[in-house]
Amino acid sequence: MDAPLGLCGPMTPDALLDDLLASQRLLVLTGAGISLASGIPTFRGSDPDAVWAHDVTEMGTFAFFRRSPVESWKWYRSRFGKLEGARPNAGHRALAELERWQLARSREFLLVTQNIDTLHRAAGSTQLVEVHGKADFVRCARPGCEHAEPRGLIARKEVDFGPFDAAPGLDTLPRCPACGFPVRAHVLWFDEYYGSHEDYQFDRVLEGIQRADLIVFVGTSFSVGVTAAALDSAARKRSRRRSCRPSWRGCWRGEGAVASPLAHAERCAPARSKPSHPLNAASRESAGSAPVRLPQVRSTRRIPPSRRASKRPASSPPTSSGHT
């Protein structure tokens, strides 16, 4: 899918290199496309296992969990099973390196990911917001519990899913250690708000979007609330926004991918021959391997218009279009 009209014009490797060199406050926003090379299905990508090719819009809701917690957890256990053994690919590692390059020059950097797969963390990114949640945590589904929203969390490794996986049923549902109520996945469902849990750090995301002089989108089709907020803010501020498109032949070279071309360009500026930049150049994980492909994906988690500009309470009722 093409990038929306709100993005700057035709993107080239050299144009992105120039922007990165000039940026003092960089924000990168990634979607499911960046993790496809790690073997994780996208949502609305073209891969055969794309999640939205099935029934996620109904099952990925709190309403469905309340109605059928067993079916909800069966679906998520299957989904989370695809994350087992996944490792960061060259794209994740290049963004971690870009973060280190920015911070070493006393510049600002924030990576916001829509992915729950934890691969950016595993790659070494530290200035990171996992705005849609984390697959390695769960939380209590009972309002008011210490392990429930707006700040409660339970590490998934501390919850025994063995009985449920062996015989899914109400009596084997994993339970909260504090109150005995069923736990839920720590993910932002389609009928929920970004502000519903502190761990989503949505205020930090909004602040980063407001401060950024350059926003780079990777592997997303701009259909989700956080991307809409980023595009709206960038358009109002007339700040730069760029998209790494799947039509570019790969995007990453691996170790040294970001630092070497940027450092070279930095030394040669302002009069320089522009080197090929790792975020756009043809690349391979290793000799003979297929190029990393970043198909655009779509998600529909949305923020109400008032939430974009103000701190809407997490207790506010969801919008009727929150899952469409």
Catalytic residues: 132
> 139, 221, 143: which is closest to 187 by C-alpha?
139
Task: Concatenate the DSSP letters of all residues of 151-167 into one string.
Answer: T--EEGGGS--HHHHHS
Q: Residue 195: how many CA atoms within 13 Å on its side-chain side? A: 18
Buried b (16+ CB within 10 A) or exposed e, 172-181: bbbebeeeeb
The β-bridge partners of 241 are 215
Q: Do residues 252 and 64 lie in contact, with contact meaning Cβ atoms separated by under 8 Å? A: no
Residues 6 or more apart whose Cβ sits within 8 Å of residue 115? 30, 31, 32, 34, 35, 130, 132
